[in-house]
Amino acid sequence: MRKEDVYSGITQIRDDLVERAGRPRRSGRLLRGLVAAAAALAVVIGGIGAIAGMRRGGNPSNGWDGSPMDPGDSYPGGSDQMGESQPPEGGEGPSGGEALLMPLAAVTYPDGAAWLTQEDRQGLTGFFRSSVPALLQAAQGENAVVSPVNVYMALSLLAECAGGETREQLLALLGDADIGQARDRAQKMMEGLFNDDGTYTLKLDNSLWLRDDGEYDRDTVDVLASRYYTWAFRGEMGSDGMNRTIQDWIDSRTGGILRQQLGDIQLLPDTALALVSTVYFADMWQSQFSAEKTQTRPFYGPEGELDREFMNKTLEGTVYRGERFTAVCLNFETCGGMWLLLPEEGTAPEELLSDPEALATLTGEAPESVEREKYLIDLSLPKFDVESRADLAQALADLGVTDAFDPQRADLSGIVPESSVPVWVSWVLHGARVRIDEDGCEGAAYTVIDMPTNADPGDLKSITITFDRPFLFSVISQGVPLFTGVVNQP
């Protein structure tokens, strides 16, 4: 296969979404500057010898079961051959030309879209409230950030590949009654959250990476393509070319803001397959901060006083007061906003992660117990660039996903049937970054789940709110929590 075909095959990912019909559009100014929020999540499943009938020396142009795939055949998902596509405008082709990649599944969105119901949104916020305290438990005075919507989508893909009690534990954490509900909700997320009309951007992408000499459950792969809009590729696992190509694919899906962390995503020769899920978000503040009003002032962090740049503006808005926090929401220009929770003096932001009032407010659904009143708000907010990485394996185990981490109990029969060698989850690395400035918000995240095979106004009162000590934040779009985090050191 020519290197040019690899480049074009990997870089043209779902650009046809922009043409999808049946979506209402809202007018607004074009996006300017760095105002993106993105999340990327990679799920890695290792398994040499764990797939029934796996053979050495397989041809990368073979089909799922090793039979030759006619280049003229249509791919699962029903779109054109990837080799005929072009790189996205302004993008660069991946550097992984040495990986012998064969695009197997290309997907297109149907006309129209499914929409998230109130029940779906409640399920997603339920997952947020149950999982975020555990996912951010490693903060302990440091900055931390995670992407709940990205973790949710990745675990949905993993549940599709699992079976037995392993699947049941994943579905219980996700809040889905069965795999059918998980599929429906994931499809609604993929379609209903999508927007790229020049007002704001929100995209979800999935891809499946397979070893060139393996056999996989065709039905599962077809479901991933048709319900989760997952592209599928074959290649030489563990090769430098394959690793670079996967890193570049993630980079192209997330605006380039994860580039410094993607070197950690390295598949090994005994990896059986990899699932990659990404989220990209971009919007501007509804009322932007003036750079002329930005001033340097102290921020009182856990380790003492720090001089930081604070953005300042006056706005009309609602102030929310819980028992142990004060909160405001900065609206985005077109959809959603960023919630900011300032703990009362003497309360660490991590303590609020176990506070039902605070968690509900972070999802944009402040309970009745939280007082609210309109004010003319003099807001002072530090610019921040929050970055963190942590192993989430223990957090997920604490949330009830235990069998996946047990070599004797893990069940991945959904994608690797009749496995003769145990396949289990050994570690879950989640890295994320969110930063804000006068124009808007930018962020990114990824998670790698490794699965080895060895058994080892005039009348308003005024109020001044200054976020000059550690605080919490969340980014909400269409009622869905995209990011949440702790700022201890902006």
The predicted-structure confidence for 101-141, as pLDDT tens digits, reads as follows 444 545 565 445 677 888 888 888 889 999 999 988 766 77
CB atoms within 10 A of CB 256: 15
Q: Which residues pair with 375 in a beta bridge?
A: 317
Residue 471 domain-assigned (yes or no)? yes
Whether 315 and 442 map to the same domain: the answer is no
pLDDT score at 44? 52
Contacts of 163 (CB under 8 A, 6+ apart): 411, 412, 413, 414
**CA dist list (Å): 82 to 1, 205, 420:** 12, 16, 34
**CA dist list (Å): 385 to 40, 91, 324, 436, 487:** 17, 25, 25, 7, 9
Backbone torsions φ then ψ of 66, nearest 5 degrees: 95, -10
**CA dist list (Å): 337 to 136, 257, 479:** 21, 21, 10
User: pTM of the predicted model, to two decimals?
Assistant: 0.77
Residue 347 domain-assigned (yes or no)? yes
Amino acid at 10: I
Residue closest to 304 by CA, chosen among 95, 94, 141: 141
Residue 6 domain-assigned (yes or no)? no
Domain span including residue 122: 26-284+389-450
pLDDT score at 41? 52
Q: Which of 243-247, 279-283, 455-459 has the lowest mean pLDDT?
A: 455-459
Whether 250 and 320 map to the same domain: the answer is no
CB atoms within 10 A of CB 140: 12
The span from the CA of 74 to the CA of 88, in Å, is: 22
Which of helix, strand or coil describes residue 266? coil
Q: Quote the percentage of the chain above a pLDDT of 90.
A: 31
Residue closest to 477 by CA, chosen among 199, 113, 238: 199
Averaged pLDDT for residues 332-360: 92
Residue 12 domain-assigned (yes or no)? no
In the chain the first and final C-alpha atoms are separated, in Å, by 48
The span from the CA of 415 to the CA of 424, in Å, is: 13
Whether 196 and 332 map to the same domain: the answer is no
Residue closest to 266 by CA, chosen among 480, 100, 450, 119: 450
Contact of 416 with 272, CB cutoff 8 Å? yes
CATH number at residue 467: 2.30.39.10
Residue 11 domain-assigned (yes or no)? no
Residue closest to 204 by CA, chosen among 24, 396, 428, 41: 41
Contact of 384 with 316, CB cutoff 8 Å? no
Backbone torsions φ then ψ of 470, nearest 5 degrees: -50, 140
Confidence of residue 62 (pLDDT cuts 50, 70, 90): very low
pLDDT in tens, 195-227: 888 888 888 888 888 878 777 888 999 999 989
Q: Which of 266-270, 348-352, 474-478 has the lowest mean pLDDT?
A: 266-270
Contact of 341 with 472, CB cutoff 8 Å? yes
Q: Which residues pair with 211 in a beta bridge?
A: 235
pLDDT score at 323? 95
Confidence of residue 415 (pLDDT cuts 50, 70, 90): confident
CB atoms within 10 A of CB 391: 14
Confidence of residue 454 (pLDDT cuts 50, 70, 90): low
Averaged pLDDT for residues 408-433: 76
The maximal CA–CA distance of the chain, rounded, in angstroms, is: 77
pLDDT score at 458? 52
Whether 112 and 69 map to the same domain: the answer is yes
What are the structure tokens assigned to 62, written together? 């073979």
Residue 7 domain-assigned (yes or no)? no
Residue 400 domain-assigned (yes or no)? yes
Residue closest to 20 by CA, chosen among 114, 149, 102, 90: 114
pLDDT score at 43? 53
The span from the CA of 279 to the CA of 401, in Å, is: 23
Contact of 341 with 349, CB cutoff 8 Å? yes
Whether 223 and 363 map to the same domain: the answer is no
Tell the residue number behind the tokens 């040499």, with chain if given. Answer: 48
Backbone torsions φ then ψ of 452, nearest 5 degrees: -80, 170
Whether 373 and 235 map to the same domain: the answer is no
H helices of 75-211, in order, are 118-135, 148-161, 164-174, 179-192
Which of helix, strand or coil describes residue 157? helix
Backbone torsions φ then ψ of 207, nearest 5 degrees: -150, 155
Whether 462 and 441 map to the same domain: the answer is no
pLDDT score at 10? 32
Confidence of residue 60 (pLDDT cuts 50, 70, 90): very low
Cα of 353 vs its chain's centroid, Å = 20
Query: Given a cut of 50, is residue 69 above it in pLDDT?
Result: no
Pairing of strands 230-235, 201-211: parallel
CATH number at residue 218: 3.30.497.10
pLDDT score at 75? 25
Averaged pLDDT for residues 452-479: 76
Q: Which residue has the higher pLDDT, 463 or 236?
A: 236
Q: Which of 136-140, 162-166, 276-280 has the lowest mean pLDDT?
A: 136-140
Whether 197 and 341 map to the same domain: the answer is no
**CA dist list (Å): 248 to 40, 256, 276, 467:** 12, 9, 12, 37
Whether 359 and 396 map to the same domain: the answer is no
The span from the CA of 215 to the CA of 54, in Å, is: 6
Query: Given a cut of 90, is residue 312 above it in pLDDT?
Result: yes
Residue 19 domain-assigned (yes or no)? no
The span from the CA of 448 to the CA of 296, in Å, is: 38
Task: Kindly report the average pLDDT of the chain as a whole number.
Answer: 75
In the chain, how many domains are there? 2
The span from the CA of 334 to the CA of 2, in Å, is: 43
Tell the residue number behind the tokens 């095979």, with chain if given. Answer: 453
pLDDT score at 478? 81
Whether 399 and 303 map to the same domain: the answer is no
pLDDT score at 379? 97
In the DSSP assignment, the letter for residue 370 is S
Whether 274 and 334 map to the same domain: the answer is no
Contact of 362 with 337, CB cutoff 8 Å? no
Which of helix, strand or coil describes residue 219? helix
Whether 330 and 400 map to the same domain: the answer is no
What are the structure tokens assigned to 299, written together? 């921020």
